[in-house]
Amino acid sequence: MSDFKKGDTASWDAEQVRRGEAERRPRQTTVRKRRRKKRMNPLLYILFVLIVSAMLAGVGWLLMTDLCAFNRGAIEKATVQVTADDTVRTVADKLQDAGLIKYKWFFRIFAKIDHAEEKIGMGTYELNTDMDYKSLIRGMRSGSGNMTAETVTVTIPEGFTVAQIIKLLAEKGVASEELLLEAAKTYDFDYDFIDNTTEDISRLEGYLFPDTYEFYANITSADQVGKEAFGKLISTFNSRLEDDLLAQAEARGYDLKKIVTIASLIEKETDGTDQGKIASVIYNRLEGPGDKGGTYGMLQIDASLLYGLPDHEGAITNEDKGTDSKYNLYKYAGLPPTPIANPGMNAIQAALEPEETDYYYYALGTDKRHHFFTDYASHTAFINSSQYGG
């Protein structure tokens, strides 16, 4: 106690008061203010959208005016020459140089969609600025202009095979048989229904449309053969297959290849007078009850067997019917692996719209007409009669 000083008590009391006041005051926390994001002025945003839209609309209008040949002023003529070495790209260059189009890159896109590479042929063509893209392509088709190369006219008969067409084109002087074979095997056709992964000429079977064509003679390039010869036949086939025909095929549950295969069987089995009935027999065997007439889906069509035996001569024998070939429809049920010929439009139509019958059999009579039967017994009786002419 002797060390206690009077001033000490006052100092201690003052310190305690300050501490008490500090404890009673609420604690202050530091609050960080959030920065508000700067938003684009709505008017500037709308202005930006309008400017971009106007630019796109302007570009679109320029492309459409070129596509449709709008606003080109006075009609001017131009001569364009297409050679064997030209491609769609080089043709577009020539059209632009001649003042017939403005945007060659846009023309190339349109030409790709329109399969122009299969349509434009060699020659010298008189074109003009009033022609739209479609008209320009049409104007450069074979036979539409003044030809600068020798041409030949060839009629492809209905029912010819690819091999027969190759021989016919070679005989007519379109190209050598070797080049035609090479193109048939290796040319890359721009169609989904052509199998470009195989080098068997059967990949073209069924798609070389029978008609009368004008071809350039003495073609010396396999690529040009593919474009100018086979490409022309396939393009015609493709143009005949309208959407409603494909819809009919899908409605029957068959894809394009199967319909063309059935059409090729019809084409080879009849002279054209009874295609609807032949079609009904094929469908009845494919789709009918397995035990009906004992057919069990076996088409037993001689023409298909002979397609698999290209060197066969004479009448078909029982030994021939035992041949292990997918085209032997005596041995294998269903359709052959590919069409067996190139059918005409009537056969394709018969495949799409067969007659409604109960026939499962037919045989050729001495009157050169097919006779149709619903059961095997009647069919056998006819074959064993004097009326059978097969």
pLDDT digits (tens, 9 = 90+) for 77-133: 888 888 767 888 999 999 988 889 888 888 888 888 888 887 888 778 888 888 888
Q: How many domains does the chain have?
A: 3
Residue written as token pair 């799409």: 352
Q: Give the 3-state secondary structure of residue 71.
A: coil
Domain assignment of residue 37, yes or no: no
Asked if the model's pLDDT at residue 212 lies above 70, the reply is yes
Q: How does pLDDT run across 377-387, given as a tens digit for each residue?
A: 999 999 999 99
Return d(Cα 201, Cα 188) in angstroms, integer: 12
- Higher confidence at residue 62 or residue 213? 213
**330 belongs to a structural domain:** yes
At residue 194, does pLDDT exceed 90?
A: yes
Is the domain of 214 the same as that of 324?
Answer: no
Q: For the domain that residue 175 is a member of, what is the CATH number?
A: 3.30.1490
Domain termination residue (choose one: 183, 205, 240): 240
The CATH number that applies at residue 80 is 3.30.1490.480
**Which has more pLDDT, 12 or 302?**
302
Residue among 129, 84, 131, 137 nearest 109 (CA): 137
- Residue 15 falls inside a structural domain: no
Question: Three-state DSSP class for 289?
Answer: coil
Nearest to 193 by CA among 181, 180, 178, 208: 208
Q: What is the three-class DSSP state of 316?
A: coil
Lowest-confidence region among 4-8, 215-219, 366-370: 4-8
188 is a domain residue: yes
CA distance linking residue 366 with residue 386, whole number of Å: 8
Chosen domain end from 212, 240, 268: 240
Q: Does residue 363 form part of some domain?
A: yes
* 286 and 362 belong to one structural domain: yes
Residue 146 has pLDDT above 60, yes or no: no
Under a CB-based contact definition with an 8 Å cutoff, are residues 324 and 331 in contact? Answer: yes
Residue 331 lies inside a defined structural domain of this protein: yes
Instruction: Determine the average pLDDT of the residues in 148-170.
Output: 91
Structure tokens at 239: 């143009």
pLDDT at residue 6, rounded to an integer = 47
Average pLDDT over residues 149-176: 93
Q: Please name the residue ranges forming H helices in 35-77.
A: 42-67
| 111 shares its domain with 196 | no
Are residues 365 and 387 in contact, defined by beta-carbon separation less than 8 angstroms?
A: yes
- Residue for token pair 């080098």: 199
Structure-block tokens of residue 295 = 């057919």
Structural domain boundaries enclosing 94: 55-139
